[in-house]
Structure 1
């Protein structure tokens, strides 16, 4: 956020002026050909997004999901939003169909979100920033999966992170909300997405199969490994031990992700999750965390389907 001007106006007043001079509009896909990726990687939007992920990564370092943290009014409103999405799943049961995967009832569920997204977001964003609703709502709609393919992947996850990043940029979420963003909002988002995946048997979007980190998620492995840095007893070798995972999954995102994999897949862990199996051999969580960040930048954040973002205004951020 900019400092006070010579006229003595407060940062809040300057921010109002900045927003008054900014036009919000619905994001559109800007990466259409491979050469466009260079433009994306050089953009401020890319730097803002990566900075957002890394700032949250640092904020959760060494902390449990069950630790104490503040929950502001915007955080509580976002939880209500996610609770609404969860309730719609209950109200939209799967339909009988020949195909085992990709239940078409997801399209009915998604139709509700498409219709109500701006209303849901307007309940989170204050009235004086209502012009931002049309922009932020697109990221929310992009964050739950594709209604045509009935699939979900790390690009959709990134859209939700971008949604939260947008709320930080316009000052709805504050620096004091950092832990709540990961441990409360994002954790609740993961719960809803897992329920969607199980209920409608969604396909993995862009999955690399056994050679990918996970069929659906990536960010909780990054932030979850940061939680475990310098843990007194748990090492990377422990997450392949199902007993230990079941004992500690409510405290650490990484282990909750592994628990969900164990629930959804059968057979030896080394076969169905080879990348994770290899990671279990890394001696320290700090090394795991650093490696996952490099992998995220290389394998997720520069891939064409993920790059929906447009240039963001220079307002306050978590950095």
Structure 2
């Protein structure tokens, strides 16, 4: 029951209990056995993930990486996070010297990778604080998704489970209202593209092995670049799927399309033709049209990546990406590409006054309406802007608690803008290899 003074926490609603649980526990793992996979495919997070992938796929049809698309100031600030991560990678590239001359190369790489991960943890939260508007109560959840996107410091590997966490990060940015509908194309072709390029450097620098389900049709560290790469080409494509391995096509368009950039990378790193180094992918690219390629990849991604226990057992869930079951289950929407976008444009021509508002009315995923911290803690909502520093810090620290403290990828973070960088990094001294 509620009153004008606040909430009566002696008889809390289900929503208040859930929100209080998020505040106290933070993001946590939910898929611990094969039986939990059924709960996962019925969860809000799964439905939001499918909706985000499908709507983004529609949005990026016909767009090239090098062509103009809307890039907001918020998007630029988020991309700057990767500038610092690239710099950290240069600083912590494994180098043999006199102090570790007797150390095996593999052990040296593992130690350097864990050191990079420790610095990355701190960098992610500091830069998110700068990139996202102040007083965003979802910053801890978004930070946890982001810092799990770069591999596993315990097993020293990388796979689609880490890519899923970056997908949660992207989806969460839209769910929290930090990114808007007009950011949809840039989130995939700019922010996600920066992520993939950094992942490639991490894999090469530290020789990370692949951690993936063998049933996946793509024998690579990630899957979404292939899926969204096919979506890019599903409208106004200058070449067919069977032509994308030709050297002249790669040379002409590798800067424009994700999938060509990846094919070139595979050929260079694995040393051979696509039919030799990635047979399953080569087989899929024998399909006549790009929308058909997309449909085949999308089906495999759902069945053998998103529904793989090896992928989802590492995922964490919280408020934006919730493991709670959907209240009114509906058929999951699939992106039918190609002529679908042309029909939408024709519809807008019939109603031109709505055309300029198209993206504002069509976000890639539904906005999450959260309760204010004062509400679900049982306090009346404040009407004044003057709050003590102590109360704000206490509430922020409570939001940023991590459930699994034994997970080396889950180091707690307590921001202190007054502390310098060297002092703040000392909090990770016990989290090394």
TM over 0.5: yes
- Could you tell me which of 135, 138, 142 is aligned with 1:132? 138
- Aligned-CA RMSD value: 2.4
Residue 124 of structure 1: CA displacement?
2.3
Who is 1:113 aligned against?
120
Q: Which residue of 2 aligns with 1:243?
A: 248
- Distance of 2:292 and 2:304 partners within structure 1: 18
Could you tell me whether the CA contact under 8 Å between 1:102 and 1:202 is conserved in 2? no
Alignment of 1:52-67 (within 5 A): 52-67=52-67
Residues 75, 179 of structure 2: 8 Å contact kept: yes
Relative contact order: is structure 1 or structure 2 higher (C-alpha 8 Å, sep ≥ 6)?
2
Identify which of 210, 213, 219 aligns with 1:204. 210
Aligned counterparts, 1:218-297, within 5 A: 218-297=223-302
**Contact 2:49–2:171 (CA<8 Å) still a contact in 1?**
yes
The residue aligned with 1:30 is 30
**What is the CA distance between 1:206 and its match in structure 2?**
2.0
What residue ranges of structure 1 are gaps of 5+ in the alignment?
1-17
Change (3 A) 1:318 1:240: same
C-alpha change, 1:93 and 1:313, in structure 2 (3 Å) is closer
Superposed CA deviations along residues 181-233 of structure 1, whole A, max 9, x for unmatched, are 01110111111111111111111112639x74132111011111011114454
Counterpart for residue 15 of structure 1: none
In 2, the alpha carbon distance for the partners of 1:102 and 1:270 equals 34
Partner of 1:305: helix, strand, or coil? helix
Tell me, in whole angstroms, the C-alpha distance in 2 between the residues paired with 1:212 and 1:284.
18
Distance 1:178 1:230 in 2: 17
Matched residue SS, 1:276: helix
More helix by share: 1
Cα gap change, 1:108 to 1:244, in 2 (>3 Å): same
**Distance of 1:164 and 1:214 partners within structure 2:** 24
Instruction: Answer yes or no: is 1:318 the counterpart of 2:382.
Output: no
CA displacement at 1:88 relative to structure 2: 0.3
8 A contact 1:168–1:174 mirrored in 2:
yes
Q: 1:317 deviation in Å?
A: 5.5
How far residue 261 of structure 1 moved from its aligned partner, in angstroms, is: 0.7
Which residue in the other structure is 2:412 paired with? none
Over 3 Å counting, the alpha-carbon distance change for 1:249 and 1:214 in structure 2 is: farther
Judging changes above 3 Å, is the alpha-carbon distance between structure 1 residues 136 and 102 closer, same or farther for their aligned structure 2 residues?
farther
Asked if the contact 2:81/2:124 (under 8 Å) is kept, the reply is: no
Alignment of 1:152-191 (within 5 A): 152-191=158-197
| Residues 1:149 and 2:155 are matched in the alignment | yes
Structure 2 Cα separation of the partners of residues 255 and 318 of structure 1: 25
Q: Does 1:213 align with 2:225?
A: no
- Alpha-carbon distance, 1:114 to partner: 2.1
Pick the structure with greater CA Rg.
2
Once residues 95 and 314 of structure 1 are traced to their aligned partners in structure 2, the CA distance between those partners, rounded to angstroms, is 39
| Residues 1-40 of structure 1 mapped to structure 2, 5 A cutoff | 22=19, 24-25=22-23, 26-40=26-40
Shift of 1:71: 1.4
Q: Aligned pairs, how many?
A: 299
Q: Is the 8 A contact 1:213 1:275 kept in 2?
A: yes
Deviation at 1:310, TM superposition (A): 2.2
Distance 1:290 1:208 in 2: 20
1:103 partnered with 2:109: yes
Deviation string 1:272-298 (CA, Å, 9 cap, x unpaired) is: 201111012101000001111111101
Following superposition, the deviation at residue 100 of structure 1 comes to 5.1
CA shift, 1:132, in A, is 1.1
